[in-house]
Amino acid sequence: MLTDPRLFSGIGNAYSDEILHRARLSPVKHEPVAGRATKSRRLCEATRTVLTSGSTRLRQEAGEDFPEGVTAFRSAMAVHGRYGQPCPECGAPVQRIVYADNETNYCAAARPAAACSPTARSRACSTADWPKTVDEWEARRRPLAEGDLQRSRRSPDRG
């Protein structure tokens, strides 16, 4: 959503990774209705903070000149471009999902336990359990969704 130019103009992969990390939101999990207001507030605050600090840093580096050699990979970033390196908050290795010509970098361990869905909690919600690719995410999600659909079709009196 953050990289969709119909919604937000100018937020690319680098800053979306940083915003989600700062807001402690998953790059792949749809958030439940409960708690959306709090998560929206965290997302808004993280967006302001990350984009403000990024533009301030760019202005300081460029000084009075036009910025040259601007790249998405910056040493001050917490997760973007840091696959396999330790998260600056918790030390767990930064994970990535590669899709098309893009990649998403995130720290699976830095998200709060409350952000894990009941399904994920039932599978221990550990860093090792978090999907590394979109295909792995879809493969894990599909059986769960099919099971949920089967349960919803059962009538209450048949159990």
CB 105 within 8 A of CB 80: yes
Question: Which structure tokens are listed for 153?
Answer: 């079709």
- Sequence ranges of the domains in the chain: 13-153
Kind of pairing, strands 102-106 and 95-99? antiparallel
Collapse the DSSP code of 124 into the 3-class scheme (helix H, G, I; strand E, B; otherwise coil) and give the result. Answer: coil
How do the pLDDT tens digits run along the chain, 159 residues long? Answer: 888 888 888 888 889 999 999 998 888 777 666 677 888 899 999 999 999 998 888 888 888 887 776 666 677 889 998 999 999 988 999 999 888 878 899 998 866 543 444 444 334 344 455 666 667 766 766 654 454 444 444 444 444
- CATH architecture label of 13-153: Orthogonal Bundle (1.10)
pTM recorded for the entire structure? 0.64
* DSSP codes, 131-158: -SSHHHHHHHHHHHHHHHHHHHHS-TTT
